[in-house]
Chains A and B, each alone.
Chain A
Amino acid sequence: AQSVAQPEDQVNVAEGNPLTVKCTYSVSGNPYLFWYVQYPNRGLQFLLKYITGDNLVKGSYGFEAEFNKSQTSFHLKKPSALVSDSALYFCAVRDMDDYKLSFGAGTTVTVRA
């Protein structure tokens, strides 16, 4: 079985400050990890993924995430948040042998001007 935990329902930051959205995962085999963003009444937009290789993954819109195998974490980060980054963020995991994605509960990010 695979699962994802996003411990924070909400993250509030001021524009220009660093943004971190936490994610931990559980999977039986090697994990494939993903971050998606969702704006109101819209589908999911892909931000970045970790499959293998470098633990630091860079993605769209200035986001990056670091895969930490020992801590089973895949936290999303952005050095300087923008008001337009305000949205709902989902972390997802799949086992390398399965195409099904398991999503975390989501974290609402609010960036205040």
Chain B
Amino acid sequence: GAGVSQSPSNKVTEKGKDVELRCDPISGHTALYWYRQRLGQGLEFLIYFQGNSAPDKSGLPSDRFSAERTGESVSTLTIQRTQQEDSAVYLCASSLFSGGDTQYFGPGTRLTVL
């Protein structure tokens, strides 16, 4: 497809379980971002990948959150021992280059932690 895709679109899990969210960026885009949007709040930056450079993890809220990306392809965001406050829409975006380049967003994964 031409756009950013994310899976699953919806995920319901029990507190304490681990979840893995997937993002397929636009082919050729070197930069990939993860954000989350909790109810009533703005988009919150989580992590940024640029090519093979070390990722910018400064937005990850705790050590329960981690993300990986192999080269310029798929990325996975993993949340271990989920808590109810992790419930949010997790959005992935990619851009051709880094910095101020326009980001193209996926549809998001809605995570609900019971």
Q: Are chains A and B native binding partners rather than an unrelated pairing?
A: no
Q: Show the binding face of A for B, using Cβ within 8 Å.
A: none
